[in-house]
Structure 1
Amino acid sequence: MLNLAFGFTCSFLIILLIVRSAGKHALFSMDGDLHSVQKNHVYAVPRIGGIGIACAAVATTIAEPLWATGSNYASLLLLLCAVPAFASGVAEDVTKLVSPRIRLLCAFASALMACLLLNAVVTRVDVPMIDQWLRVLPLGIGFTMLGTAGLTNAVNIIDGFNGLASVVAMMIFGSIGYVAYQVNDWPIMSMALTMVGALGGFVLWNFPTPSVFLGDGGAYLLGFIMAELLVLLIARHPNVPVWYAVSIAIYPVFETLFSIYRRRILHGKPADEPDRLHLHSLVYRRIARRGYDPANLRQKTLRNSYTSIYMWALSVIGIGPATLFWDSRFATFGASVLFVLAYTRLYIAIVRLRTPRWLLFPGHQHTRVTAPDVEQSRH
């Protein structure tokens, strides 16, 4: 637990420094574009909160031998492997010049480093025919790199609302730490607790009123470390089903897959083209907006935060059962299916303007809203 406390303290203080010195680095750390497709914030704040989380993780890992008897070598290697993915995200945060393709390649580079330095390779998916192929090392490495890079980018996709990606990541890391404790894997548990603490220090500055954003760097860092801890759990412990990893990460993973399907198959557009049709965007526009004055900037900020609460609750459908029944293939598979059904049911209901009344916050039920796409003009 000292990892959690130390990580929290470091993160909180470093991000305090970032917030208090915002005027000095605003030129490169703040994003003044508040009106593009995926922007839902009222004012600009630093987008380099990921630096605080990264510094806290490094500081905690270096200091860990002061209170723990185990080696911190593997954790330091994991953080080293995260550098390409994290650096590409931070570079995008401060320059806005790093293309999605370059960032994806950097995520692949980080995944390859982890395969080679940590032996973090998935060699089973609990399907005998596929497992035979994954035992061929190049195929196993390729599959692992694809899954790791995918989850790294998936966390970035769900980022964009106050506390959304960070709190979901906290729940996932908390689940990983619990399962690692159950299987006596102390290195994985300590890193998971470190990330929970670092995220806790960040969330206090990001929710409900944001003073700092996670940024692409922070999202890529969280996604990569999350993916690698899951890979290591599966690789080291045959009693941890692959469906456990799928279930606790099902929200960012399914959001990404559904977005690709929606853009490429349904609309014939590039898979990486930004739009406002993510589920969290629809919740913000068609549920959280009810009962609020769009001209009131404070209320718009609250709408942003309320959106995250809806998505936290949805993500628990996958994370909760998978954590409680982590060693059951049937239960973890069922949690994934249940989440997919809940997600698609909610998505269809919102698109068809049939949102259940019980989803509305108290006091919102009687507010009449016109056609969902007829929103207040920004001009």
Structure 2
Amino acid sequence: MNEGMNSITPILLYSVALLLSFFVTLVLVPQAKKIAEYVGAIDTPNHRRVNTECVPSMGGVAMFAGFIISLLAVAVFSLKFDLFKLDYVRELSVLIVGCLAIVGLGVIDDSIGVKAHLKLMIHLGIGLYTACMGLKVDSIYIPFMQEVQLGVFSIPITVLWIVLVVNAINFIDGLDGLAAGIVFLTSLFIIYYGVKNGHFLLGLVYSGLLGSLIGFLFFNFNPAKLFMGDSGAFFLGYIIATGALVQEGGTVETNIWVPVLALGLPILDFLTAVARRILNKSYFVPDKDHIHHKLLKKGLSHKTVVLFMYCISVIFGMAALIVSNGKAYEVFPTIAFLGCFVLIFLNMLDIFKKT
């Protein structure tokens, strides 16, 4: 294989994965809507929801199918170009089984409901399975210091990371196009970093995810014709959390710090929600005080809030890329800026005040 073919093949395969997952998802979304209506997976308006009409809620099934079909098809095709190694089979197998489990949980929750504490236990179990099967954080790179080996803490930290991201995406899925759009932007930043550093499998996973998100967003922008439901939120959270762990030869800096910072907004919303529930002693009781709810109460329209939160996600994504370079004169000002921005933003929203 010549050098030109080596340089162009990964980008070509990423493009194929994106387009294939896009078209498959686009075709399957109407079918997912019919299934949701048949099994009764309908989001009905209530005191906590923003939607004023009943909307089917199982878009995650279409995204999952589009993602898996494109990933498997391109993986088989890439064998011809010697870009797919034996280790990839194991890693993708773990990823797919984890996806099946967490999407299955989401489908059940969308259809008949699952108690919050039971969902948390299953999330922990799926995270434990993923980590024990080898997709885990073995070490953490601390800028300007040596890499810290996690040892016995590797598995619990990985489990907590997966559970954190899955629930963060679920928590921020409160407005039309919000969660899908934020994951879309996060995927863009991670793909850019992966391609820049030559991580083939990382780029392939997130390219497939990107295509399925685009296909779904056609139906999910305000006014939404279909919600992703817990099946979608769990799927997106799991892939974003574990996708960065399936790359070959990458540093933990690539695996963790880029998605951690790029997901800064949903993680921030999740952590403040948990803190608020602890303060109010309502641990498993959902509220209407998330960041998007607070912005709506400031008088912003539905679409304006979504676009504003997209802009904030872009800020976090750019910060992730800057910090990933590891240059002192870039990292410290960026972290200082983010810290000040977060404090001012949360203070403006009175985020810990229950309304």
Same fold by TM-score greater than 0.5: yes
1:124–1:87 Cα change, 3 Å: same
1:6 equivalent to 2:4? Answer no
Question: What amino acid is aligned across from residue 74 of structure 2 in structure 1?
Answer: E
1:282 alignment partner in structure 2:
294
2:326 alignment partner in structure 1:
328
2:241 to 203, 227, 243: 227
1:109 equivalent to 2:121? Answer no
CA distance in 2: counterparts of 1:64 and 1:333, whole angstroms: 40
1:29 alignment partner in structure 2:
41
Report the alpha carbon displacement of residue 43 of structure 1 after superposing the two structures with TM: 1.0
CA distance in 2: counterparts of 1:223 and 1:333, whole angstroms: 29
Q: Taking structure 1 as the reference length, what is the TM-score of the superposition? A: 0.79
Question: What amino acid is aligned across from residue 157 of structure 1 in structure 2?
Answer: F
1:89 alignment partner in structure 2:
106
Question: What amino acid is aligned across from residue 341 of structure 1 in structure 2?
Answer: C
Superimposed CA distance per residue, residues 102-160 of structure 1 (whole angstroms, 9 cap, x where no aligned partner):
2122222222222233442342252879935x123xx2101111111111111101101
Count of matched residue positions in the alignment of Structure 1 and Structure 2: 329
Question: What amino acid is aligned across from residue 305 of structure 1 in structure 2?
Answer: K
Q: Taking structure 2 as the reference length, what is the TM-score of the superposition? A: 0.84
Report the alpha carbon displacement of residue 40 of structure 1 after superposing the two structures with TM: 0.1
1:167 equivalent to 2:181? Answer yes
The farther-off stretch of 234-243 and 316-325 is 234-243
Question: What amino acid is aligned across from residue 269 of structure 1 in structure 2?
Answer: K
CA distance in 1: counterparts of 2:282 and 2:185, whole angstroms: 31
2:191 to 171, 177, 186: 177
1:236–1:65 Cα change, 3 Å: closer
1:362 alignment partner in structure 2:
none
Superimposed CA distance per residue, residues 50-108 of structure 1 (whole angstroms, 9 cap, x where no aligned partner):
00000111111221146423336233431212222222222111112x11222122222
Question: What amino acid is aligned across from residue 313 of structure 1 in structure 2?
Answer: C
1:43–1:320 Cα change, 3 Å: same
SS in 1 for 2:110: helix
- What do you get for the CA RMSD once the two structures are aligned? 2.6
1:304 equivalent to 2:314? Answer no
1:272 to 260, 276, 284: 284
1:194 alignment partner in structure 2:
208
1:52 to 62, 67, 70: 62
Matches within 5 A, 1:63-74: 63-65=73-75, 67-69=77-79, 70-71=83-84, 73=89, 74=91
Structure 1 residue runs without a partner (length 5+): 289-302, 353-372, 374-379
1:254 alignment partner in structure 2:
268
1:244 equivalent to 2:244? Answer no
Report the alpha carbon displacement of residue 237 of structure 1 after superposing the two structures with TM: 1.8
Structure 2 residue runs without a partner (length 5+): 1-14
CA distance in 2: counterparts of 1:48 and 1:172, whole angstroms: 22
Contact 1:121/1:232 (8 A) holds in 2 = no
1:40 equivalent to 2:26? Answer no
1:241–1:276 Cα change, 3 Å: same
